[in-house]
């Protein structure tokens, strides 16, 4: 299929705006020369269920082209076909910097979840601009989070509790984690958790409120601007110029002391910043928001008081362990996801098709939730959520350029991509960006400390590997067996540790207790781990564990100091050695975001 960019097709942009794939903002929108209906006819013989469902959705057939574009782009990335640095990121002598049409302290590339920290910084008095290839702050979907995490909006001074409540689409009594236990020796071990992804948020309302507060504070929203490139001074004072194109193809240049990359993990800019390092894992994800499922408390019925966090209903199929996630929303709506964890590489790329996964989604949906006679799919959701984890990778930042959110390719066993991670780290990100601007700490060695990374999550990648079948043909039940053992171990350790684990807030003692409990209950975890991870994976885990332990020791020692001492130390360092103070502040902010300290 031949595709060409047409920035002037703004109406098609708006039709696609009502879908928010996790990697949406990372991929330039391309439009083909054939109509959506013709494309649907071409794809219908192979994907009859998918095409039929999209036909019933408003603007649904337009998504076919976007899915193909995203799918093609991901497969190129997985094969190692990355963009050239000279195309999107340039470092030049100050005398060769292009002129800017306007000057700001920060320019945000990407205006979905990055809008929250942009709004906080604008309210602190910084000059901030945000641009996006769609309308800034657009996302027509629900996200799930907990009240503890929502409190970070209040802590950051962005929203009041009353304002947050206006965007709450629903609350659940608990969330279910359950893995299929048919024909395996391990008994089922369901977990029902409160305080984990138990609040559904209408992100469109929350983003609209953030946009209003951002603009009231003097922030500038630049809608329907496509990213072209960023140029940064090689020497001297740090300054960047971001080039964008508006819907009519006109170039605008935005000057900034600091450029913030919030474009997502597979944008050309993010790939270049990461130095071409390949991803370690990926989570292809599809789903829909729908109405008309059977409501009740029996298996496969929708209970509005319950959410499904991680659920499997069968052993491995098509060589993958499919996992379901589902959350009731407002007005009888329910958002359902189907996804699986996989490795990344040339041998895997061709099989990681979103259209194939969508066809499986519509075929298998009745095995997860029973459709009623009036079942209606309202809109699709889809994306690739890639991650870098156990290997040392290039910094997600460069001189004058810092990456935030999914652009850093973080990974959690639960929140693979992350509204929750963004919100949990909102005060941390705003505080560190403020410090770096106020003290002109804008070199890569400084900015690499800014972000949502956590030392405890450096170990979480191992759990996603256990959720991918090692030998799906001979042992299709491996994943469910191990996860039932793991859930039983979590249940044995108690609700506190279990909740901390699924909130990405587990500490060193938590982790060791969990590993030892799992090994005690199922000694086969050791040979299984070696089989799945191999010698290189075990070596990486040991390295991650040692770094995690060193950070835990540093945190423990720091916590023993009287608060008055630490306050004086940080104040004095800020005057005498701001770079050292910034490094210490980065550690403290990480510990606070992880729930170990209070600010």
Nearest to 369 by CA among 317, 414, 322, 308: 308
Share of the chain above pLDDT 70, in %: 90
| Core vs surface per residue 178-201: b (16+ CB within 10 A) or e | bbbbeebebeebebebebbbbbbb
Q: What are the pLDDT digits (tens) for 297-344?
A: 999 999 999 999 999 999 999 999 999 999 988 888 999 999 999 988
Pick among 3.20.20.140, 3.40.50.10540, 3.50.50.60, 3.40.50.300: CATH of 86-165+201-276+399-447 = 3.50.50.60
**Contact (CB, 8 A) for 251 and 228:** yes
- pLDDT for the residue 86: 76
Question: pTM (2 decimals)?
Answer: 0.90
- Reply yes or no on whether the pLDDT at 126 is more than 90: yes
Q: pLDDT, tens digit, for every residue of 354-395?
A: 999 999 999 999 999 999 999 999 999 999 888 776 544 445
Note the pLDDT of residue 22: 44
Q: Residue 42 — pLDDT band, cuts 50, 70, 90?
A: very high
Whether the predicted pLDDT of 23 surpasses 50: no
pLDDT score for 391: 47
pLDDT at 276: 67
Closest listed residue to residue 406, CA positions, set 274, 510, 309, 514: 274
Of 20-29, 166-175, 420-429, the range with the lowest mean pLDDT is: 20-29
Q: Residue 32: pLDDT above 80?
A: no
Q: Quote the pLDDT of residue 195.
A: 87
* CA 333 to chain centroid: 23
Question: What per-residue confidence (pLDDT) applies to 455?
Answer: 86
Task: State the residue for tokens 């009623």.
Answer: 372
Task: Give kind and range of the element (H or E) at residue 147.
Answer: helix 147-155
What was the pLDDT predicted at 62? 93
488 Cβ contact partners less than 8 Å away, ≥ 6 residues apart: 186, 187, 189, 521
The set of long-range contacts for 179-183, using a CB threshold of 8 Å and a minimum separation of 24, is 179/310, 179/311, 179/312, 179/479, 179/480, 179/483, 179/484, 179/487, 180/312, 180/313, 180/314, 180/315, 180/480, 181/480, 181/484, 182/314, 182/315, 183/477
**Contact (Cβ atoms closer than 8 angstroms) between residue 594 and residue 505:** yes
- pLDDT category at 345 given cuts 50, 70, 90 is confident
Model pLDDT for residues 399-419, shown as the tens digit of each residue = 999 998 776 766 554 554 567
For residue 363, the surrounding DSSP H or E stretch is helix 354-368
Q: Distance from CA of residue 225 to its chain's centroid?
A: 22
> Three-state SS for 77?
helix
> pLDDT grade, residue 68 (50/70/90)?
very high
Per-domain boundaries in the chain: 86-165+201-276+399-447
């Amino acid at each position: 299929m031949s595709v060409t960019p047409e920035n002037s097709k703004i109406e098609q942009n708006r039709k696609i705006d009502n879908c928010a794939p996790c990697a949406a903002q990372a991929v330039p929108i391309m439009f083909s020369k054939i109509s959506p209906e013709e494309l649907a006819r071409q794809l219908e013989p192979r994907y009859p269920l998918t095409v039929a469902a999209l036909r019933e959705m408003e603007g649904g057939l337009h998504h076919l082209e976007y899915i193909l574009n995203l799918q093609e782009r991901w497969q190129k990335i997985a094969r190692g076909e990355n963009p050239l640095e000279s195309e999107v990121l340039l470092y030049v002598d100050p005398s060769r910097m292009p002129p800017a049409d306007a000057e700001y302290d920060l320019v945000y590339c990407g205006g979905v979840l990055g809008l929250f920290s942009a709004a906080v910084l604008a309210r602190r008095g910084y000059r901030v601009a945000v641009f996006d290839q769609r309308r800034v702050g657009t996302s027509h979907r629900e996200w799930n989070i907990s009240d503890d995490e929502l409190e970070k909006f209040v802590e950051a001074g962005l929203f009041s509790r009353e304002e947050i409540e206006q965007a709450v689409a629903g609350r659940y009594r608990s969330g279910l984690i359950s893995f299929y236990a048919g024909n395996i020796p391990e008994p089922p071990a369901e977990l029902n958790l409160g305080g984990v992804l138990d609040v559904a948020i209408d992100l469109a309302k929350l983003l609209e409120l953030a946009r209003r507060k951002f603009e009231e504070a003097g922030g500038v929203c630049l809608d329907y601007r496509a990213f072209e490139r960023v140029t940064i001074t090689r020497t001297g004072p740090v300054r960047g110029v971001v080039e964008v194109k508006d819907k009519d193809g006109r170039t605008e240049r935005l000057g900034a002391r600091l450029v913030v990359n919030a474009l997502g993990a597979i944008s050309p800019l993010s790939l270049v910043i990461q130095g071409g390092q390949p991803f370690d894992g990926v989570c292809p994800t599809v789903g829909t928001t729908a109405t008309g499922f059977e409501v009740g408390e029996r298996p496969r019925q929708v209970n509005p008081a319950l959410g499904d966090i991680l659920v499997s209903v069968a052993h491995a199929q098509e060589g993958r362990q499919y996992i379901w996630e589902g959350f009731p929303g407002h007005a009888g709506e329910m958002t359902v996801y189907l996804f699986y964890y996989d490795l990344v590489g040339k041998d895997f790329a061709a099989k990681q098709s979103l259209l194939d996964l969508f066809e499986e989604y519509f075929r298998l949906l009745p095995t997860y939730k029973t459709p009623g006679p009036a079942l209606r799919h309202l809109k699709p959701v889809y994306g690739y959520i890639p991650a870098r984890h156990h290997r040392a990778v290039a910094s997600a930042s460069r001189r004058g350029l810092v990456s935030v959110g999914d652009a850093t390719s973080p990974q959690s066993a639960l929140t693979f991509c992350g509204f929750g991670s963004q919100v949990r780290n909102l005060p941390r990100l705003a505080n560190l960006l403020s410090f770096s601007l106020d003290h002109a700490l804008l070199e890569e060695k400084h900015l690499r400390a800014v972000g949502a990374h956590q030392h405890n999550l450096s170990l979480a990648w191992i759990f996603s590997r256990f959720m991918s079948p090692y030998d799906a043909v001979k042992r299709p039940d491996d994943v469910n067996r191990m996860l039932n053992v793991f859930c039983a171990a979590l249940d044995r350790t108690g609700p506190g540790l279990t909740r901390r684990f699924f909130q990405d807030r587990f500490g060193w003692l938590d982790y060791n207790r969990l590993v030892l409990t799992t090994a005690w209950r199922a000694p086969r975890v050791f040979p299984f781990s070696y089989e799945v991870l191999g010698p290189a994976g075990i070596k990486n885990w040991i390295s991650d564990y040692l770094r995690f332990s060193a950070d835990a020791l540093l945190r423990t020692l720091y916590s023993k100091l009287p608060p008055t001492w630490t306050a004086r130390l940080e104040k004095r360092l800020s005057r005498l050695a701001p770079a050292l103070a910034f490094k210490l502040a980065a550690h403290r902010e990480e510990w606070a975001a992880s729930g170990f300290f209070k600010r």
